[in-house]
Amino acid sequence: MNRGEYCYNKSYSNGYPMGAFKRLDDFDKAVVTTLYICFRLKENVDSNFMNQFFEAGRMKQGLMRIAQEGGRAHGLLNIGLSDFFGLKLQIPSVEEQTAIAQILNAADIEIQLLQEQMKQLELQKKGMMQQLLTGRKRLISN
Q: Could you read off the pLDDT of 125-142 as tens digits, one per residue?
A: 999 999 989 888 877 777
Helices marked H in 33-80 — which ranges? 47-55, 60-66
Average pLDDT of the segment spanning 48-57: 95
Comparing C-alpha atoms, which of 49, 9, 6, 55 is closest to residue 30?
6
CA distance 105 to 36: 26
Q: Mean pLDDT across the stretch 74-102?
A: 91
**pLDDT tens string 28-51:** 999 998 889 999 999 999 999 999
